[in-house]
Structure 1
Amino acid sequence: MEPIDIELLKQLCGIFAPSGNESALTKYLIEYVETQQDNWKTKPELIYGEEFQDCLILKFGEPTTAIFAHLDSIGFTVRYENQLVPIGGPEVESGDLLVGHDAMGPIECKIKDEDGHLFYDFGRGIESGTDLVYKCDFRETEEYFQSCYIDNRLGVYNALKVAETLENGLIIFSCWEEHGGGTVSFLCKWMYEKYKVKQALISDITWITDGVTHGQGVVVSLRDSSIPRREYVDKIIALAEASGVPYQIEVERSGGSDGREIQQSQYPIDWCFVGAPEDYVHTPNELVHKADITAMVTLYKYLMNNL
């Protein structure tokens, strides 16, 4: 099973990249790939630029399957008179620490929730339009990691670990997932029309529920608010079974991922959500079991070699 690169995961969780403001993480990933790729089994082609906005694609060999991992996190935008507007769906508690930067300098402030109306508590006014995110407090115990933005920096981490041994495939880092999506449609167009790639895995994080628990393996989702094509999902489950990697089955009525946008695109692309489960979702204290991280990376490597 895969060892965990704690420092890489910690760095990823601390990078400022709320929905619509992902460029710092994109630049980090480009630099990371350029410095690490000589140690990988296959050097990828890096694809990015204005036509891809802040998205990044790594192309390995002759791809038949794509991994999608969204870069963005939930957060907040400063409005007027100390008001905050959520980015995505943060679960807020008064006193949570937020960080950011405006024209007057760095910001570290507390959030106040007054009957569902959000405000910041800071010693000066913050420039309207400034994005703020949870302050990263990365913690480790014998069995768990806990931090803000494990959703979806763990999905990004997983993709980077798979990249180390990948020979054929696409790794696609998307944007805006937490706030309605918007990039996956043109990414689907690009990968289908250029390479005829018709199958995808969604490298994202799901929830601990009554049917999904810590330490029991990576989750293969049969459905959330969207329903992937069952023939493809059954293929993923058969491969998961053959791999010997611990996994869990998820069935939910709500929630979503980049898979929703793939399904709504005009292209016949199959998808399946495969990811570790976490507790305290969309808070500064997201909690994931180390064994589930290891299972996620190990199963992805197996799937990408066998799909």
Structure 2
Amino acid sequence: MKILFELLNCTSVSGDEEQIAALILKHIQERKDNWKVVPKVYSGENHHDCILLKFGDPRTAVFAHMDTIGFMARYANELIPIGGPEEIEGTKLVGSDSLGEIECALRVDENSLYHDFPRRIERGTPLSFKQNIRLTEEFIEAAYLDNRLGLYNALKLCETLENGWVVFTTYEEHGGGSMPFLLKFIQETAPIKQALISDITWVTSGVRHHEGVVISIRDKFIPRRKFLQKVVRLAELSDIPFQLEVEASGGSDGREIQFSPYAIDWCFIGAPEDRVHTPDEKVSLIDLEAMIQLYQYLLPRL
């Protein structure tokens, strides 16, 4: 799990994904010659900080977002959220500006957010949760399991994938924005008709730890039932533990697929976590393993 720990210790608040993209690209370049199929790698300024890997003759694409929630320094000692972080008094935040490294605490005053750093932080500086990784026999707990585990799953998939796209996206936590040009590039290069979203969902009254990876029937958006039924039937044949999720809110890169001009089916498949968007997100290792296994089972069969 070395690469997972490296991903967890790398910051990438939405809009500032350069560092995590460089880490993932380094991992790809070091490992790709030992994968079952060596992919064609697309990256660089034409793709901003996104990375696309084309394996063989793709039918399906897997998308995993690289960005995280966080905060941005405003004026004086004010902060404003990026994405939807939980605003918990005293939460430790880290970052850096041209004057040096920053570690401070979040201060919550009614509807306003502040930091307690002893000097003014430069305007526009992104801050993220201070990392604290805890690994036991049953769980992993850390900041930003959403979506570091989705990235880890996508990289594990690369080891065995023969045909497909694996795509690392940006901006997802703060409104999206990279998917339109990525989908256009995919459809002009090696078009696909279906996609899976490698992301992390919630533990709820109907979704629990240790009961398997989650196949989402719906969140705020509803993918095409015909495709969902195909995915569920294959999951049933796999004997890999999974749970079905039905929610009224939430979203992912799947939203932008559904809103795109392309007829691409999509399905969100990911491990469930507790304490969402806090520094203490918690995921069952059983569910994470089921996620990895199910992606490796589904991709050759879809």
TM-score, scaled relative to structure 1: 0.97
User: Of 194, 206, 211, which residue of structure 2 is paired with 1:211?
Assistant: 206
SS in 2 for 1:166: coil
How many Å apart are 1:155 and its aligned residue?
0.3
C-alpha distance in 2, partners of 1:181/1:164?
Answer: 28
Aligned to 1:197: 192
Aligned to 1:290: 285
Contact 1:192 1:198 in 2 (8 A): no
The share of aligned pairs that are identical, in percent, is 53
How many Å apart are 1:195 and its aligned residue?
1.4
C-alpha distance in 1, partners of 2:87/2:7?
Answer: 22
Aligned to 1:150: 145
SS in 2 for 1:188: helix
Aligned to 2:7: 12
Aligned to 1:170: 165
How many Å apart are 1:189 and its aligned residue?
1.3
**1:78 matched to 2:89:** no
How many Å apart are 1:116 and its aligned residue?
2.8
C-alpha distance in 1, partners of 2:29/2:44?
Answer: 16
Contact 1:58 1:170 in 2 (8 A): yes
**1:299 matched to 2:294:** yes
Pairs within 5 Å for 1:88-127: 88-127=83-122
Q: Provide Cα deviations, 1:207-255, integer angstroms capped at 9, x if missing partner.
A: 0011100000000000000000000010000010011100000000100
Aligned to 2:30: 35
* Two-structure CA RMSD over aligned residues (Å): 0.8
Aligned to 2:18: 23
User: Moved runs in structure 1, 4+ residues, more than 2 A?
Assistant: none
C-alpha distance in 2, partners of 1:119/1:39?
Answer: 48
Aligned to 1:246: 241
SS in 2 for 1:95: coil
Q: Provide Cα deviations, 1:90-123, integer angstroms capped at 9, x if missing partner.
A: 0021111111110100111111111131101112
SS in 1 for 2:232: helix
User: Of 263, 269, 277, which residue of structure 2 is paired with 1:268?
Assistant: 263
Unpaired stretches in structure 2, ≥5 consecutive residues: none
C-alpha distance in 2, partners of 1:95/1:38?
Answer: 46
Amino acid at match of 1:102: D
Count of residues paired in the alignment:
302
How many Å apart are 1:289 and its aligned residue?
0.2
Amino acid at match of 1:49: G
